[in-house]
Each structure stands twice: as C-alpha cells, then as structure tokens.
Amino acid sequence: MRYSLIMHYPEMTEADLGTEAMNEGKAAFDDYAKALNEAGVLLAAEVLQQSASTTTLTARDGALKVQDGPFADTKEQLGGIFLIDVPDLDAALAWAEKCPAAYYGTIEIRPTAVHFEDGAWHGTI
Amino acid sequence: MARDDLTAKARAEVVARASYGRLLALLAARTGDIPGAEDALGDAFVQALSTWPASGVPANPEGWLMTVARNRQRDRAKSAAERTSAPLAAEPQVFDEVDPDAIPDKRLELMFVCAHPAIDPGIRTPLMLQTVLGFEAEQIARAFAMPTGTMAQRLVRAKRRIRDARIPFVVPTRADMPERLPAVLEAIYGAYAIDWLLVSGERESLAAESLYLASTLATLLDDEPEAYGLAALIAFSFSRARARTGADGRFVPLEEQDTTRWDATLIARGDDWLRRAARAQRLGRFQLEAAIQAVHAARARTGLTDWWALRTLYTALVELTPTLGARVSLAATIGTLDGPDAGLAALEAIEGAERFQPAWATRAHLLAEAGATREASAAYEKAISLTTESALRAHLTEKATRLSPNG
C-alpha cells in the first residue's frame, strides 16, 4: 500500500534558522531518507520550496486565473512529502513517527487511492 | 568509532562533568536562578582559562571556580540591589582553602527541581542532562533527534519557569517522596531509553550518563530502594551493550549473545546495587526490572537462564506495571517454559499490542517454534514492516529466511 507522509510545518528560511540549524535539519532529512531507502520502502521524497515561490492557477469560474502565492495562506504550509510503500497503516505510522518534521510540524499519513504507473492506472477509488 | 572507545570516552567525560554539576547545583540552589548560575559559572570558567595558564592551576580548582562564580553572582545581585536600593547581606565565604568534599552537594535538590511536577515531563530528562551534567543544548538535541533551536528554546523556557515560579531547591520530605521520586527516576530512565528509539542506532548513546545520574541519585538518597533498582537496571543493560551487535552489524538477541563480551564490572555493580535495594524490603518496578536483568546476567556465571525465576519476576512486574513491554516479555517466557501454544495464548490476551513491534516479533518466533511456518512467515513480515532500525530488521529478516529454506 502506498502512503504519502505529507509534512506541514511553519516556513523558516536559512536566515531565520541560522546556517547550523539548517545543516542539522538537512542531515536529519538525509538520515531519514536513507533509512527509508535501506528498508526498501521509499518511492519518492520531495521537499518543496517555500510557498512564496508557489503559483496558483484556477479556471473554476470560467476564466483562467493565475495567482502568486499558495492556495491557502496558513501559518503552517505544505512542506513536502515522502511517498512510501508499506504493507499497512501500522508500518506507515512507525515510519511517520521517525520523520524529522514530526518534531516541529505535523505529518499527515494518507493512503493512495489510485496511481498511474507504466501507462496504466492501478488501484480502485 | 568503536563502541569501546565511545564508552571509555563517555566515562571520562562523566567524571569531568561531576564537578560541573556540583558547582551549578550549589550556585543555583542559593538563588533559584539556573540561567544566572550558568552565566556566573561560565564567567568563572572563562576567567580560569585566562589566568590558570600563567598562575598555575590552584590547589582546589573547584573551590576557586566556586568563589569566582559566587562573586560574580553577588556582583550581579548587588547591581540589581543598588537599582532597587535594598540592602544585601554579605556572604564572606571563600572556598579556596576548604576541602572539596566539604562543598555541600546540592545535585539531589537540582534533580528534584528538574523533575518537579510543574515542569513538562518531556523536558525533564534534557534539563537534567544540561544542569547536572553540563551538556550543551546541541548535544542533547542530537541525542533526542530534535533540532537544536527547538531544544534550546524548551530548555530556556523550563529554566525561566523554575526561576519565575520559584520552584524550591529542596529534597522532598519522606512523606512526599513516594509522590516525587518516580518522576526523577523516569527522567533518568528517559536518558537511557532514548538509546532504543533511534532510526539507525548511530546517534550518541547516553547510557553512561544515565548510569551516572542513577548512581548519583541512589548514593545521595541512600535509603531509596527504587533508586538503587534503577541504577542496577541500567548497569545490567549497559553491561551488554557490546554484545548486542554482531561483527556483521546485525542485532544479536539476548539469548544468543556471547557472554564473554558482557562487562563483568558493570554486572558486579548491578548485583551490588540490587542487594542494597533489597535491604529496604520495598519492592518496586525498577527493582523487578533489575532483578530480571540480574537473572539474565547470571548466565555469564552459570551458563543457564533460570526461566522459572523470570516467570515469577515478570508476573510480579505485570501485576505492578502492566506495560505492553512487560506483558509481551511474560508471554515470551511462558512460551519458553510451557511451549509455544501457551505463549501464543498469553500473547493473544494482550490488548492494544496491534502495532507493537516486539509483540509481532515474539508472535513470529512462537509460531515458528510451533511449526506454523506460513503464519510465522506472515508475522515476521509484519514485525519487519514495523521495524525502523536496520540492525534489528536484518536480524528478523534472517530469522524469516531460515523459516523456509526452500523459499
């Protein structure tokens, strides 16, 4: 079963944190990704740029609207995801517990409904 | 770095930290102001570094540091007092002449402050590591796998709270002791237990530090059996640190460990502390856990494990503190003594163990013993999926492979 570990945390720049803390954070993510990889459960890891570099688009109201900034301007922003493949929610929780972002943010553990791979959809909604 | 070197280094550091803790505890106990005491002591160390190379190390370095730090505290209090024009009592106490042993030891008071009910349980262990042992926030953060900034902030907040709420630097009375001691024991145990929470096992172990805190607590309290029990428990567990990892980096379970790799000195200390604990004839959780470890440690002498004694002890432990860990261990012991089916039945009776890794590892082992290969294989798979530590996962994977040699 595929699970997305979706990380939400307050956005901090290197200037806010200091270089040392930033490097420490990077090392923690590095350890974590390598541990997931070694266990053979990691499919993808994406750490996103700050929401300031986001662009939002909608055509919901009939006209195309392109906007600077995130969809929702909240204190905690979507910071990235780890996509893992583990047997069940228990295993996903065991890994989410070790995610460095759990110490300063929130981890949402969300199962995949369907995914597209090798030219076809897999799974059922 | 080899585990041996790390242990030796940690031990040497622990000795050096003793004087830091004693000095800080004494300075802070006077004013209730830990940050102020840290500043004063920091200043004294800076002054020592700048003057000792030229003047030579004083005969009583601790006394020297204490005197300078106290003067520093007094200067600050005086300038504050001048602002409020309140008179300040002079305290002409110079420690340079006195025997270091005559400096009162207030570390016990400090430990009770760190684990005071008004302090958030999550910060008690870090607070003790910082104030009693002088660790930097960065080192503590690393051990707890937490960003330094977050850890430093929490420590500062807790120390301010101690000062502003005027948490008293006192050892609880005998009447209050049963209520207050468990929190101190938990905080010290916390320093030992983080060793087991890691993803990769590569972070620094605080086992030596927790052993030091526990033995200091036990010695200073002297008549508290649970404090001796905790010291004994940590000593026994720590004695097996080297034997826990095989040459290939794989986890080695207790029953398969080479007892010649156990630390005999630590086992002897554990036995001694457990005997002292027993004198009070007041049984408690840590004494029971230590006694369980003592039974395992005895295998180094006798070559045998007394499973009947283990069952008695685990039964008592489950009665006293029915944690998941204790209940799973009891089920495993029953499985060894009465056969896998009895063990499995005991395991099934445990509620809330659905995602508890040790329960699945035990279940897999018992199913394999019972010859239920297919079920055992599924249980191993589940246990492996719950294991984030790679050495342990490698061990379980190997056991699962041994189940079905033909694939």
One DSSP character per residue, B64-76 reads HHHHHHHHHHHHH
CATH of the domain at A116: 3.30.70.1060
Per-residue pLDDT tens over the stretch B13-57: 555 667 788 889 989 988 889 999 999 998 988 888 888 888 888
Structural domain that includes position A12 = 2-122
First to last CA, chain B: 38
Indicate the burial class of B4 (C-beta count within 10 angstroms; 0-12, 13-18, 19 or more). Answer: exposed
pLDDT value of position B149? 85
pLDDT number for residue B83 = 62
Minimal CA–CA distance to B275: which of B235, B316, B308? B235
Question: Which chain A residues are within 8 Å of B357, Cβ to Cβ?
Answer: 94
Contact list in B for residue A86 (CB cut-off 8 A) is 385
Question: Token digits for B100?
Answer: 């270091």
Instruction: Give pLDDT, residue B5.
Output: 47
Smallest Cα–Cα separation from B32: which of B67, B73, B88? B73
From A112, A101, A100, select the one nearest A79 (Cα to Cα).
A101
Backbone φ, ψ for residue A36 (5° rounding) = -65, -40
Q: Where are the beta strands (DSSP E) in chain A?
A: 2-10, 42-47, 55-58, 65-68, 76-85, 106-111, 115-117, 120-122
B373 and chain A in contact, CB less than 8 A: no
Q: What is the spatial distance between Cα B317 and Cα B280, in angstroms, rounded to a whole number? A: 18
Residues A114/A4, Cβ–Cβ less than 8 Å: no
Mean pLDDT in residue range B154-179: 91
ipTM over 0.90: no
Q: Which CATH number fits domain B323-407: 1.25.40, 1.10.10, 2.60.40, 1.20.1690?
A: 1.25.40
Q: Which of A17, A38, A86 sits opposite B385 (nearest CB)?
A: A86
For tokens 């180094």, name the residue. Answer: B300
A87 touches B: beta carbon within 8 Å: yes
- The residue extents of the domains of chain B are 3-102, 323-407
Q: Rounded mean pLDDT of A72-87?
A: 90
Q: Which residue of B has its CA nearest to A102?
A: B146
Spatial distance between the Cα atoms of A84 and A103, rounded to a whole number of angstroms:
20
Number of structural domains (chain A) is: 1
Strands A76-85 and A2-10: antiparallel
User: B296 vs B149, B289, B380, CA distance in Å?
Assistant: 41, 11, 25
Q: Which residue is associated with the tokens 């001048």?
A: B82
Give the pLDDT of residue A24. Answer: 83
Average pLDDT value for residue range A111-116 = 94
